[in-house]
Amino acid sequence: MIRVIGLGSPFGADRLGWDVVERLHGRVPAAVHLMTLDRPGVALISWMDNVDWLILVDAVVTERSPPGRVLHFAPEQIRHNPAGTLSSHGLNLPQTLRLASTLGSLPRRLDLFGVVVDACRTENSRHGIATGTTQLIAQLAAMLGGEHRPDSASDDPARGSAVQIPSASPIKTS
């Protein structure tokens, strides 16, 4: 089974993962299980059981990349991330993955995608975040066997799909 989970909360920039999942409905095959979780903590492990490929989507706060940049983390990058620096609302992903592995619940494939957000929320950053989110949706739809279709004024069909998302590397969106 393939499962895509939008992490975060239903409010503000933190609902980015939820927005991505909502906009994936109708763009990916029906067999792909789409869901959202409100800051799941360790309970995330229960949603990994019997999953072949798990994709997590969340807002990412970092000063190393501009708002709107799409980042992709493969399991190796998450596991080797210094404790506490890669988290989703207090959930330390490296520790959670180690626990899931110990419990035999780790999916065969796991990817974490995020769009960089910032606290300032200037007009430029909002535009960058909207563009990055749209590009991530198109890439996930393509990866999962669906097709990208514009669904709002922020989608630009003339741009086509963003570059393919290579495994275990950050993606710059422009």
| Sequence-separated (6 or more) residues with CB below 8 Å from residue 98 | 79
Of 116, 102, 122, the closest CA to residue 58 belongs to 116
Provide the pLDDT for residue 147. 59
| Sequence-separated (6 or more) residues with CB below 8 Å from residue 129 | 13, 16, 67, 68, 115, 116, 117
Provide the pLDDT for residue 80. 65
pTM above 0.75, yes or no: yes
SS3 14: helix
Confidence of residue 172 (pLDDT cuts 50, 70, 90): very low
Mean pLDDT over residues 49-72, rounded?
91
Residue 70 in tokens: 């799409």
SS3 91: strand
Q: Does residue 61 surpass a pLDDT of 80?
A: yes
Confidence of residue 109 (pLDDT cuts 50, 70, 90): very high
pLDDT tens digits along 127-160: 899 999 999 999 999 999 975 454 443 333 322 3
Q: Does residue 110 surpass a pLDDT of 80?
A: yes
Provide the pLDDT for residue 86. 52
Domain architecture of the chain: domains with CATH? 2-159 (3.40.50.1450)
Provide the pLDDT for residue 99. 84
Alpha-carbon distances, residue 5 vs 57, 72, 134, 151, 161 (angstroms) = 6, 15, 17, 21, 22
Q: Does residue 69 surpass a pLDDT of 70?
A: yes
Q: Does residue 28 surpass a pLDDT of 70?
A: yes
Q: What is the mean pLDDT of the chain?
A: 78
SS3 148: coil
Q: Are 36 and 21 in contact (CB under 8 A)?
A: yes
Of 163, 151, 128, the closest CA to residue 16 belongs to 128
Provide the pLDDT for residue 77. 77
Q: What phi, psi does 115 have (nearest 5°)? A: -115, 130
